[in-house]
Amino acid sequence: MQNTDASQTWHGTTILTVRKGNKVVVAGDGQVSLSNTIIKGNARKVRPLAGGNVIAGFAGATADAMTLFERLESKLEQYPQQLTRACVELAKDWRTDRYLRRLEAMMIVADRSVSLVLTGTGDVLEPENGVIGIGSGGSFALAAARALIDQDLEAEVIAERAMTIAADICVYTNTNFVIETLES
């Protein structure tokens, strides 16, 4: 018999972007959970794309995120050096394509000049203040990063401290962080 219990779903992650000075940082935790069980503690949810010129992080179903990474890479090849255009085109496909619209994930993408959140509802959003958080611990990391952004700290330090705070609060977030940085 198939388990249809709604609690048996994939839960959370925390992905955070901090843009400060001449740097943009994307950080993600490594925990993958199924209900109340940690399945994996060192998943890589943040990765460079487009030859290292773009950083992307995902929250949601892993296979769905891999599909979106591949689609974004394709759009970046089609629209080189145009992250916003590539993301808008991906969001259009994601919203209208029968297969893609079933994908359950969110993405943060950043290059040297812009940071964006992409959703399956067609949203391509640029944050205020250069800080974005998504996933189950995203709000905690976002709040912590906003509190730290005006301090005399580097973007990487802010991201790591904010992620640590999120991991202390969110049971679906751990401290096995992957942090990628781009400098302009």
How many domains, in total, are found in the chain?
1
Kindly state whether residue 121 falls inside one of the protein's structural domains: yes
Kindly state whether residue 152 falls inside one of the protein's structural domains: yes
Distance CA 77, CA 101 (A): 22
Kindly state whether residue 184 falls inside one of the protein's structural domains: no
Catalytic option among 9, 13, 37, 164: 13
pLDDT tens-digit map of 42-53: 999 999 999 999
Distance CA 163, CA 147 (A): 13
Question: What pLDDT was estimated at residue 68?
Answer: 86
pLDDT tens-digit map of 96-134: 877 666 777 889 999 999 999 998 788 999 998 899 999
pLDDT tens-digit map of 135-154: 999 999 999 999 999 999 99
DSSP 97-138: -TTGGG--EEEEEE-SS-EEEE-TTS-EEPPGGGEEEESTTH
Kindly state whether residue 81 falls inside one of the protein's structural domains: yes
pLDDT tens-digit map of 20-38: 999 999 999 999 888 888 9
Instruction: Give yes or no for residue 167 having a pLDDT over 70.
Output: yes
Average of per-residue pLDDT across 157-168? 98
DSSP the chain: -----TTSSEE---EEEEEETTEEEEEE---EEETTEEEES----EEEEGGGTEEEEEEE-HHHHHHHHHHHHHHHHHSTT-HHHHHHHHHHHHHH-TTGGG--EEEEEE-SS-EEEE-TTS-EEPPGGGEEEESTTHHHHHHHHHHHTTSS--HHHHHHHHHHHHHHH-TT--S--EEEEEE-
Kindly state whether residue 2 falls inside one of the protein's structural domains: no
Kindly state whether residue 1 falls inside one of the protein's structural domains: no
Kindly state whether residue 26 falls inside one of the protein's structural domains: yes
Question: What pLDDT was estimated at residue 150?
Answer: 96
Average of per-residue pLDDT across 179-184? 95
Q: What is the pTM of this model?
A: 0.90
pLDDT bracket for residue 60 (50, 70, 90): confident
Distance CA 155, CA 25 (A): 6
- Contact predicate 25/18, CB 8 Å: yes
Q: Please name the residue that has the structure tokens 């943009």.
A: 24
The CATH number linked to 88 is: 3.60.20.10
pLDDT bracket for residue 3 (50, 70, 90): very low
Question: What pLDDT was estimated at residue 8?
Answer: 36
Kindly state whether residue 120 falls inside one of the protein's structural domains: yes
Q: 81: domain range?
A: 10-178
Question: What pLDDT was estimated at residue 12?
Answer: 74
13 is catalytic: yes
